[in-house]
Structure 1
Amino acid sequence: MRTLHEPAQMSESVRLGAVLAVTGGFFDAYTYLCRGGVFANAQTGNMVLLGTDLATGQWAHAMHYVLPILAFALGVAAAEWVKLNFKTRPIGVHWRQIVILAELLLVVLVGFLPQSANMAANTLVSFICALQVESFRKMRGSAFATTMCTGNLRSATEQFVRWRTDGDDEARRKAGRYAVIIVYFIAGAALGVGCVHLWGDRAVLLCCALLALAFGLMFREKTA
């Protein structure tokens, strides 16, 4: 029997969210440091850089940002397609686990792309991040993200103010959960920096272990 504050499904648990947040932070550090200064997770940064290139007439370089933006949109569409086609099918795994497996396989491909293929690597990581952010959108019933933290910071602050103003214990718990995700995202970015310095292009392969852990965690509850 579930308690009042227990998640309805493992895909909404803080534990799974933390693992995916580490992965998200790692991806952004990896592509920025190792793949030519491109943001794979939050496309706002790429849109700003795209606008800068267009304004300065650097048309060819602008493609470094156009392709990740388009790949992100395609990744969102792909995640929705998986959800619509596999959510109600009795195939033994949750549709979100299919998404995680797809991420894992694509990460392996990224890890073996040379520096000469940075544009392809960034495009693939943007696609991967879109799959993740579209598929894992709630944590214990509250909206959150694992590949970017601006919204999480806003929500954490909002819930903190509600707690301090109204004494709402649930708001305090929500603020704490958001804070946990932010800390794990930062930890993932720090881990990414260290791994890039040690292993260069191959560093992203560590995310395969994180995604495999996420895949396994979801077997605890995959019916909802």
Structure 2
Amino acid sequence: MDDVTRQFRPVTDTILTLGATLVMGVIDADTFLKHGEVFVSAQTGNLIVGVIKLMEHGWQAAWTNGFVWIGYFLGCFIAQGLSEQVSARNPRRQMRWLLLIDVLAYALLASLQTTLPDSWLIFFLGTVAGYELTIFRQVGGIAINNGIMTGNTKAFATSFYRAVVNRDHQAGQRVIRVGAVLVTFLLGCAIGVRLANLAALDVLWVASGFKLILLGWLFLPVAMENP
């Protein structure tokens, strides 16, 4: 069998990004239903809900939405730093380390969810969300902002127009890829609602287990390119 390079196949990036999108849908649905109408990844919706709470009920009701925004910002900041510093010359090793951090973060939060104050749990979930959505953002070789479905809907609509009216093949490929992100996020939301209603404490453990499976994928030869 041929040796593999230090690069992952494009399909591996797609699997990791869609996996992150699915988990974000699950977590957002759970935190909205069980933690005071707060989103941890969908920051547009989170800020809108926060302002509505502020105007209708005061800062006591709204501050957690602002707190999770800070956590999300911190997660993006950390992810950018780690992506530039950790095994930057070896993408294969780098992605394994970055995903391992992701798995450990979810497992730690899952184990502490009954003891952490709710506001801090949401804050750290926001941090993990910012981290994930900064690291995992490639679908089919194109960059996707898998935390902002508003932008993805616009990209889907404009690409759909170019594909249908202008017969643009590349736009048609983008329709498929962006559509996959939208459907995956909605599926994650549906799963999150079901899990939140059935066993709220299991949501983070499910996320941890799913991320562990994705980490295992990164050690399979099929995930990597041949020279």
**What stretches of structure 2 of length at least 5 have no aligned partner?**
1-6
Map of 2:146 onto structure 1: 146
Map of 1:108 onto structure 2: 107
Map of 1:221 onto structure 2: 224
Q: Give the Å deviation of 1:57.
A: 6.4
Aligned pair in 2 of structure 1 residues 211, 148: CA closer, same or farther (>3 Å)? farther
Aligned pair in 2 of structure 1 residues 44, 115: CA closer, same or farther (>3 Å)? farther
Q: Give the Å deviation of 1:87.
A: 4.0
**What stretches of structure 1 of length at least 5 have no aligned partner?**
1-6
Matched residue SS, 1:94: helix
Q: Give the Å deviation of 1:76.
A: 0.6
Describe how 1:1-224 pairs up with structure 2 within 5 A: 9-10=9-10, 13-56=13-56, 58-89=58-89, 93-112=92-111, 113-114=113-114, 117-219=117-219, 220-221=223-224
Q: How many pairs align?
A: 216
The whole-number CA distance in structure 1 between the counterparts of 2:105 and 2:141 is 29
Aligned pair in 2 of structure 1 residues 158, 217: CA closer, same or farther (>3 Å)? farther
| Counterpart residue type for residue 187 of structure 1 | L
The whole-number CA distance in structure 2 between the counterparts of 1:8 and 1:171 is 25
Q: TM-score, normalised by structure 2?
A: 0.83
The whole-number CA distance in structure 2 between the counterparts of 1:62 and 1:72 is 16
Q: Give the Å deviation of 1:86.
A: 1.3
1:25 and 1:147 in contact (8 A); partners too? no
| Counterpart residue type for residue 221 of structure 1 | M
The whole-number CA distance in structure 1 between the counterparts of 2:198 and 2:115 is 16
Q: Alpha carbon RMSD of aligned pairs, Å?
A: 2.6
CA-to-partner distance for each residue in 1:178-224, whole Å, 9 max, x for gaps?
1112111111111111111221123221011221232233341389x
Map of 1:4 onto structure 2: none
The whole-number CA distance in structure 1 between the counterparts of 2:57 and 2:193 is 32
| Counterpart residue type for residue 139 of structure 1 | V
Q: TM-score, normalised by structure 1?
A: 0.84
| Counterpart residue type for residue 224 of structure 2 | E
The whole-number CA distance in structure 1 between the counterparts of 2:190 and 2:97 is 28
Q: Give the Å deviation of 1:116.
A: 7.0
Moved more, 28-37 or 51-60: 51-60
The whole-number CA distance in structure 2 between the counterparts of 1:181 and 1:45 is 18
CA-to-partner distance for each residue in 1:40-97, whole Å, 9 max, x for gaps?
112122222333344356223332112101111110110011011114255x953233
1:12 and 1:141 in contact (8 A); partners too? no
2:71 and 2:127 in contact (8 A); partners too? yes
Q: Give the Å deviation of 1:27.
A: 1.2
CA-to-partner distance for each residue in 1:1-36, whole Å, 9 max, x for gaps?
xxxxxx974476433332222111111111111222
The whole-number CA distance in structure 2 between the counterparts of 1:122 and 1:140 is 31
